[in-house]
Amino acid sequence: MNRIFSGIQPTGNLHLGNYLGAVRNWVRMQNEYECIFCMVDLHAITVWQDPAELRRSTRELAAAILASGVDPKKNTLFVQSQNPDHAQLAWIFNCVARLGWLNRMTQFKDKAGKDRENASVGLYAYPNLMSADILAYKATHVPVGEDQKQHLELARDTAQKFNNDFGVEFFPLPEPIIQGAGARVMSLRDGSKKMSKSEESDYSRINMTDDADTIALKFRKAKSDPDALPETAAGLEGRPEAANLLGIYAALSDRTRDEAIAQFAGKTFSEFKKELTDLAVAVLSPISTEMKRLLADPAQIDAILSEGAHRARAVSNPIMAEVQEIVGFLKAQ
Ligand code: TYM
């Protein structure tokens, strides 16, 4: 049986990278598989979060996920901190995974920057919590953007080491699902950096809450180059911004990048950007309208998430009972 798990941090706005790299694929998978989708607030606090802002962002993210089409009746949608099993399994994995493995994690290096000594311990151990998120449900498949690939490899190594150490065939080795042109959406200001919530300039990303004028302005200002669009993929060599914008167009229109290249071959950036804007507005504006409607009733969002947490615990509790038995913990009477 395939069980899907994926997570997203409730920090700042959901942006186009999260949508194309992850959430849109969640919507597509929900009819075929058992899906568990988690808003990972324990991960979020590995860097400082203002408490009121975290609460607001968590509800806003839930609204964005629901508005994108994730059906909370078919899937389990919940907040990580409402299921303590994640934190408990993460501790066990802190004792299974090796320091050397975590030292290789490029995301920690990027996020901690030069001031490593001052990064939280949580930021360093973050990948173990991510392994726990997935394995507390024995999930077999994990849809993510390309930036999470290394963390998924660590989750597989950890599952394997746990199984070997304790002589069991207990955890599955989860497979990443990294799909298509949306798997790596880059910054609109610099085609060599990924689109992210943490980049300072808001012009670097399209947020799901941006209105049509803002989307148009951001694409108009998006970095490009003076040449017309190429006729073949080879013509995108050394043109990261053109490659990124064509990739975004392809993902939004459900085409391959080659199809997008053929469609705009020889066109100027300004012609292309206009079509890109129209398409982005057509896809995103119904989502932001629905988000606003959902956010008008925060109690309803909280109720959906509580129900989700209840279902999540029902899946993870028996798995964790077995983990405790395997590790040698005494059962509470
Ligand atoms: P996060 O919150 O940074 O991103 C959520 C999802 O969006 C994808 N993504 C992108 N995809 C394409 N282009 C981009 N520019 C881009 N930026 C982000 C991410 O790959 C991710 O799929 N550690 C994870 C959250 C997490 C998780 C998990 C994911 C925690 N536990 C367990 C899967 C399974 C993260 O920080 O994602």
Domain of 257: which CATH number?
1.10.240.10
Shared domain check, 136 and 241:
no
Parallel, antiparallel or unpaired: strands 3-8 and 34-39: parallel
pLDDT tens digits, 87-102: 999 999 999 999 999 9
Whole-angstrom distance, CA of residue 56 vs CA of residue 60 = 6
In Å, what is the CA distance from 194 to each residue of 82, 137, 307, 320?
Answer: 30, 29, 34, 36
Shared domain check, 288 and 303:
no
Judge whether 30 lies within some domain: yes
Residue 221 appears among annotated catalytic residues: no
Residue 194 appears among annotated catalytic residues: yes
Inform me whether the pLDDT recorded for 239 exceeds 90: yes
Shared domain check, 85 and 131:
yes
Shared domain check, 90 and 224:
no
Q: Cα 182 to chain center, whole Å?
A: 12
Q: What integer is the mean pLDDT of 178-195?
A: 92
Separation of CA 19 and ligand 1 centre (Å): 10
Q: How confident is the model at residue 1 (pLDDT cuts 50, 70, 90)?
A: low
DSSP notation for 158-190: HHHHHHHHHT---S--PEEE--SGGGSPBPSS-
Shared domain check, 176 and 103:
yes
Judge whether 278 lies within some domain: yes
Separation of CA 147 and ligand 1 centre (Å): 7
pLDDT tens digits, 45-54: 999 999 999 9
Residue nearest to atom 27 of ligand 1 (CA): 7
Mean pLDDT across the chain: 95
3-class secondary-structure state, position 194: strand
pLDDT of residue 195: 96
Residue nearest to atom 35 of ligand 1 (CA): 8
Residue 46 sits in which domain range? 3-184+297-327
User: Of 197, 223, 267, 274, which one is the catalytic site residue?
Assistant: 197
Shared domain check, 167 and 32:
yes
Which residue out of 124, 147, 151 has the highest number of ligand 1 atoms within 8 Å of its CB and is therefore the one to mutate?
Answer: 147
Classify residue 204 by its DSSP letter: G
CA 316, 322, 326, 332 dihedral sign is: positive
Judge whether 204 lies within some domain: no
Which residue out of 6, 86, 131, 148 has the highest number of ligand 1 atoms within 8 Å of its CB and is therefore the one to mutate?
Answer: 148
Judge whether 318 lies within some domain: yes
Count of domains observed in the chain: 2
Shared domain check, 234 and 115:
no
Shared domain check, 119 and 58:
yes
pLDDT of residue 333: 83
Q: Which residues line ligand 1 (CB under 6 A)?
A: 5-9, 17-18, 21-22, 40, 43, 130, 133-134, 142, 144-145, 147-148, 183-185, 194-196
Atom of ligand 1 nearest to the CA of 130: 31
Judge whether 192 lies within some domain: no
pLDDT of residue 319: 98
User: Both tokens of residue 221?
Assistant: 């200002």
Separation of CA 115 and ligand 1 centre (Å): 23
Q: How confident is the model at residue 198 (pLDDT cuts 50, 70, 90)?
A: confident
Residue 149 appears among annotated catalytic residues: no
Judge whether 196 lies within some domain: no
Shared domain check, 147 and 215:
no
Whole-angstrom distance, CA of residue 133 vs CA of residue 40 = 9
Judge whether 333 lies within some domain: no
Inform me whether the pLDDT recorded for 30 exceeds 80: yes
pLDDT tens digits, 248-303: 999 999 999 999 999 999 999 999 999 999 999 999 999 999 999 999 999 999 99
Give the residue with greater pLDDT, 200 vs 92: 92
Shared domain check, 146 and 89:
yes
Separation of CA 168 and ligand 1 centre (Å): 30
Burial class (CB in 10 A: 0-12, 13-18, 19+), 146: middle
CA 151, 41, 312, 297 dihedral sign is: negative
Task: Tell me the CATH number at 169.
Answer: 3.40.50.620
DSSP notation for 236-298: GTT-HHHHHHHHHHHHHTT--HHHHHHHHTT--HHHHHHHHHHHHHHHHHHHHHHHHHHHT-H
Shared domain check, 40 and 164:
yes
Side-chain-side CA neighbours of residue 32 (13 Å)? 8
Separation of CA 298 and ligand 1 centre (Å): 24
Atom of ligand 1 nearest to the CA of 129: 31
Separation of CA 144 and ligand 1 centre (Å): 6
Shared domain check, 176 and 148:
yes
Inform me whether the pLDDT recorded for 23 exceeds 90: yes
The answer to whether 237 and 179 have CB atoms below 8 angstroms apart is no
Residue nearest to atom 34 of ligand 1 (CA): 6
